[in-house]
Amino acid sequence: MKIKKGDIVKILAGKDKGKEGLVLKAFPEDKKVLVEGVNVVKKHQKATQTQAPGIVEKPLPIDLSNVALLDPKDKKPTRVGYKVLEDGKKVRISKRTGEVIA
């Protein structure tokens, strides 16, 4: 999976189209990511011994095809590629500018 935890992404489709956010968690088996402040739903919470009742907001994962990584150089959406360096280390690169993504 080309997008990882800690990346800044832009939402390309859906109700939050155009928003940017930090990837909190990645689900490679489902090809989904959890983005901070995006795809937030309200859930009615029943009272338990540890939690109070009420309506809580919960972020849900968004499909990987609906997000694009922001280029570290110019902060525009880009595709991700891979490159093997001379020392044998495999790194992610931006297809837009060719910059190495940390």
The three-state DSSP-derived secondary structure of the chain is CCCCCCCEEEECCCCCCCCEEEEEEEECCCCEEEECCCCEEEEEECCCCCCCCEEEEEECCEEHHHEEEECCCCCCEECEEEEECCCCCEEEEECCCCCEEC
Q: In the CATH hierarchy, which fold is given to the domain comprising 1-70?
A: SH3 type barrels. (2.30.30)
pTM of this structure: 0.83
Q: What pLDDT does 72 receive?
A: 87
Residue type, 1: M
| Per-residue pLDDT at 96 | 92
Q: Output the pLDDT for position 26.
A: 96
Q: Is 19 left (phi over 0), alpha (psi -120 to 50) or beta?
A: beta
pLDDT at residue 102, as a whole number:
80
Residue-level pLDDT at 59: 92
Q: What is the mean pLDDT of each run of 10 residues along the chain (102 residues)?
A: 94 95 96 95 95 93 96 92 94 92 85
* From-to residues of CATH 2.30.30.30 in the chain: 1-70
What is the sign of the dihedral through the CA atoms of 52, 44, 60 and 20? negative
